[in-house]
Structure 1
Amino acid sequence: MKNILFRLYLNLMRSGAKLTRIKENKVVILNGAGRSGSNGYLFAKYLRQHHPEYDVALVEPWPSSHLPLKTWRQIGAAKYIFTTHQPFKIHRKQISIQFWHGIPLKRMGIMANNTDYKTDARNARLWRRNADMVCSSSDFYETLMSACTGIETSKYRQVGFPRLDALTRPAVTKKELLQQLFGQDDVQAQIGIFMPTFRYEMADEEIMNRIKDGNFLALPDFDVEKLNASLKAKNQFLIVKLHPYEMRLFKKQHSHFSNISFLNNDFLYEQDFDLYELLGSTDFLITDFSSIYFDYLNLNKPIIFITAYLEQYEKTRGLLFGPFKEVVPGKCVNTQTQLLEAVAAPDHYQAKRQYWRNLTNEVQSASYCEQVFTLMTKKY
């Protein structure tokens, strides 16, 4: 019922916004990606800094049923509309450019195990009707996206993604990151970041209870004191960035340990940063099935994969390719003991990371934002 009412709301507001006259220099970015590698947010920053001749409106969160009429009029006046999730436009003459928010690793849309076909088919029709151009990074990316959403090949433009500009040229230095999150300034230390996927959708009560009780790794032998001691002995620090939903469930959102710090969205909003503007200053990534690892390949730094609940995830939602443990460019671990060993082990995955980086990002550019801007203005 909620979905039906929300679609009615969107149709009503779209009808009202159609009365607004389009402005040639008006750009609206509908950002549903928050501050976690948001192409929309970062491209808005770029436009405001480098192209003040364009009137840029960043609409977030999107979609929302609480947007004022003024905002809807801005959407209706936009010549260019960028989206991070489903494509959206009001007038036929508007140009809708789709960023999306990551390279697909997990099954979604018509490929997912846990979605409704009628909904997926309706979404596929929205892509065909509303997306004029879809930003892409490679043939591989296009294959994955089209498998899930049915996008026609003619819509893709291989211009890369704005988030990679922030990743490879971080706005926050390693020293600043150590000072702000750990109160330290030893730049010889290593900083790791743990970023899991949305684990709640597995509907596994045991895993969610572990997270609620403070076991953010959701591993059977989790021991936070031992983890902190091991990090301290190796002169390493660990940033924990959970999905916002998990952070709300998490009972211990503030770490009392010297070498572990939780990063939440409030910090990013207060500092006016996207996660990718500091991610490039980290030294290694720990994840499970989050597609962030594809982007992290552009740093050529170690990646460790937690696969303790791989079987549950494949059954509930599914992955787009595999076998997962054989194809990922990093060590797979199922326990904290294995994780600590992997963090201390020599890195032997450089060649495999390079292979996957070339496969997922065929577009090499000094400025992906500039390439998207050229796409927007030349309309090719």
Structure 2
Amino acid sequence: MKSILFRLYLAVMKFLARWQKEDPNTYVILNGSGRSGSNGYLFYKYLCREHPEVTAYLIEPWPSSHLPWSDWQKIGRAKYVLTTHQPFKVRKSQVNLALWHGIPLKRMGTMANNTQRRDNQRNEKLWHKTADLVTSSSELYESLMSACMGIEGPRYVQLGFPRIDSLLKSPYKKAQLLADFFSCQDPEAQVGIYVPTFRYELEEPEVMERIKEGNFFAFSDFDLAALDQALAARKQYLLVKLHPWEMKLFSDFHLEAKHVAFLNNSDLLAKKLDLYEILGATDFLMTDFSSIYFDYLHLDKPLIFITNYLAQYEKTRGFLLGPYEKIVPGPCVASQADLVKQLGEKDGYGLERKKWLELSDQADHGQACQTIFDYLSGV
């Protein structure tokens, strides 16, 4: 019932907003990605910084039934509507550019194991009707997206992703990261970051209970004190960026560890930064099944993959590529003991990272924002 009412709400507001006079110099960004590698937010920052001659509006969170009428007026006035999730616009004359929010690794839409056919058909119809342009990085990206969403090939334009600009030109340096999160000044220190995917859909109470207890890896042998000691012995620090929903499970974000700290959404909002503006300052990335690792390939830095609930995720949602251990350019670990051992190993995956970067991205060279702006100016 809630979804039906929300679709009705969107239909009514679209009808009302379309009566606004369209301004050819107005961009509106409908951001549903928060500050976690948001192409929308980062393109908005670019427009404000580099193109003061245009009007840019950031609408977030999107979608929402709590937007004021003034926001709908902004949407109605825009010539260009950029979205991070499902495409949207209020009239045919507007140009919708779908930025999306990651290179697909996990199954979604038609390909997912946990979706309904009726919903998938509705989404495919929406993409067909509304998405004028879909920014892309490669043929691989286009194949994966179309498999899931049914997007037609001619809609893709290889313009790249704004988040890669910020990753490659990070304004946030490692010295600042160490000072802000670890109160440390050590030029020899290494900083890793752990960014897991959305694990709630696993429907595994044991996994979620472990996370709630502070076991952010959901390891069966998790020992924070031992992990802290192992990191200290190697002059390593670990920043943990959980999914925003998982962060709600914690009543206290303080960890009894000197070498482990949480990176919260509130930190990013306070600093007016996106995760990718910090990501470039790190030395290695750990994730489970988040496609963030495709983007991290641009840095040519080590990757470690956490796979202690791989079987459950394959069953619940599934992957677009596999077997998983064969397609990830880094070691897979399923326990804290394996992880601690791997933290001391020499990196030997450089060639694999290069191969996957060439497959997944031929468009991004740190100029995506300018490329997108120039392209839209000619539409």
Which TM-score bucket, shorter chain as reference?
over 0.9
| Cross-structure match for 1:208 | 208
1:312 alignment counterpart: 312
Aligned to 2:40: 40
* Pairing 1:126-165 to 2, within 5 Å after superposition: 126-165=126-165
User: Quick check: 1:214–1:252 contact (8 Å CA) kept in 2?
Assistant: no
Structure 1 runs of 4+ with >6 Å offset:
none
Residues 284-327 of structure 1: CA distance to partner in whole angstroms, max 9, x if unpaired?
A: 00100000000000000000001111000000000001000111
Greater shift in the superposed pair: 363-372 or 323-332: 363-372
Partner of 1:80: 80
Matched, 1:67 2:67: yes
Question: Partner residue of 1:177?
Answer: 177
AA aligned to 1:288 is: D
Q: What is the Cα deviation at residue 366 of structure 1? A: 3.9
* Superposed counterparts of 1:323-362, under 5 Å: 323-362=323-362
Instruction: Give, in angstroms, the shift of residue 60 of structure 1.
Output: 0.5
The corresponding residue for 2:273 is 273
Number of aligned residues:
379
Q: Distance between the aligned counterparts of 2:364 and 2:217, measured in 1?
A: 34
Deviates more, 1:253-262 or 1:146-155: 253-262
Q: Which whole-Å CA distance do the structure 2 matches of 1:297 and 1:358 have between them?
A: 10
Structure 1 residues 364 and 68, CA gap change in structure 2 (3 angstroms): closer
Q: Distance in 2 between matches of 1:68 and 1:20?
A: 15
Are 1:81 and 1:88, in contact at CA under 8 Å, matched by a contact in 2? yes
Instruction: State how far apart, in whole Å, the 1-side matches of 2:179 and 2:72 are.
Output: 41
| Letter aligned with residue 360 of structure 1 | S
In structure 1, distance between residues paired with 2:99 and 2:176: 30
SS for the counterpart of 1:180 is helix
> In structure 2, the residue corresponding to 1:102 is in which secondary structure?
coil
**Number of the residue aligned with 2:375:** 375
Residues 175-218 of structure 1, C-alpha deviation per residue, up to 9 Å, x if partnerless? 00000000011121000000100011000011111111111010
Identity %, equivalent residues: 53
Q: What is the alpha-carbon distance in structure 2 between the residues aligned to residue 238 and residue 15 of structure 1?
A: 49
1:32 alignment partner, SS class:
coil
User: What residue number does 2:124 align with?
Assistant: 124
Distance 2:287 2:366 in 1: 27
Distance 1:221 1:251 in 2: 23
| Secondary structure of 1:160's aligned partner | coil
Contact 2:196 2:290 in 1 (8 A): yes
Q: 2:366 & 2:236 partners in 1: Cα distance? A: 31
Q: Which residue of 1 aligns with 2:18?
A: 18
- Give TM-score, length-normalised by structure 2: 0.99
- Secondary structure (helix, strand or coil) at the match of 1:249 reads coil
Cα distance in 1 between the residues matched to 2:134 and 2:180: 37
Looking at structure 2, the residues matched to 260 and 213 of structure 1 have their Cα atoms a distance apart, in angstroms, of: 16
Equivalences for 1:230-249 in 2 at 5 Å?
230-249=230-249
Match of 1:198 in 2: 198
SS in structure 1 of the partner of residue 58 of structure 2: strand
**Amino acid in the other structure paired with 2:144:** L
Match of 2:135, SS state, is strand
Report the RMSD for the aligned CA atoms in angstroms. Answer: 0.8
Q: Does the 8 A contact of 1:283 with 1:302 survive in 2?
A: yes
Give yes or no for contact 2:166–2:366 (8 Å, CA) kept in 1. Answer: no
Residue 364 of structure 1 and its aligned partner are, at CA, apart by 4.0
What are the Cα deviations for residues 76-110 of structure 1, in whole angstroms up to 9, with x where unaligned?
11000000000000011000000000000000000
Which string of whole-angstrom CA distances, capped at 9 and with x for unpartnered residues, describes residues 210-231 of structure 1?
1111110101110000000000
Give the letter aligned to residue 38 of structure 2.
S
C-alpha contact 1:333 1:339 (8 A) present in aligned 2? yes
CA displacement, residues 246-289 of structure 1 (integer Å, 9 cap, x when unaligned):
11113442123110110110010011000000100000001000
**3-state SS, counterpart of residue 192 of structure 1:** strand
Distance in 1 separating the partners of 2:344 and 2:251 = 29
Secondary structure of 1:176's aligned partner = helix
2:317 alignment partner AA: R
Structure 1 distance, partners of 2:47, 2:245, is 31
Gaps of 5+ in 1: none
Q: Is the Cα contact below 8 Å between 1:32 and 1:61 reproduced in 2? A: yes
Partners of 1:230 and 1:106 lie apart in 2 by: 32
> Structure 1 CA distance, aligned partners of 2:333 and 2:251?
25
Tell me by how many angstroms 1:363 deviates.
1.2
Secondary structure of the equivalent of 1:62?
A: coil
2-side partners of 1:96 and 1:88: how far apart? Answer: 7
Q: Is residue 170–residue 276 contact of structure 1 (8 Å, CA) maintained in 2? A: yes
Aligned match of 2:187: 187
The CA distance in 1 between the partners of 2:100 and 2:160, in whole Å, is 11
Gaps of 5+ in 2: none
Rounded to whole Å, the distance in 2 between the matches of 1:159 and 1:344 is: 38
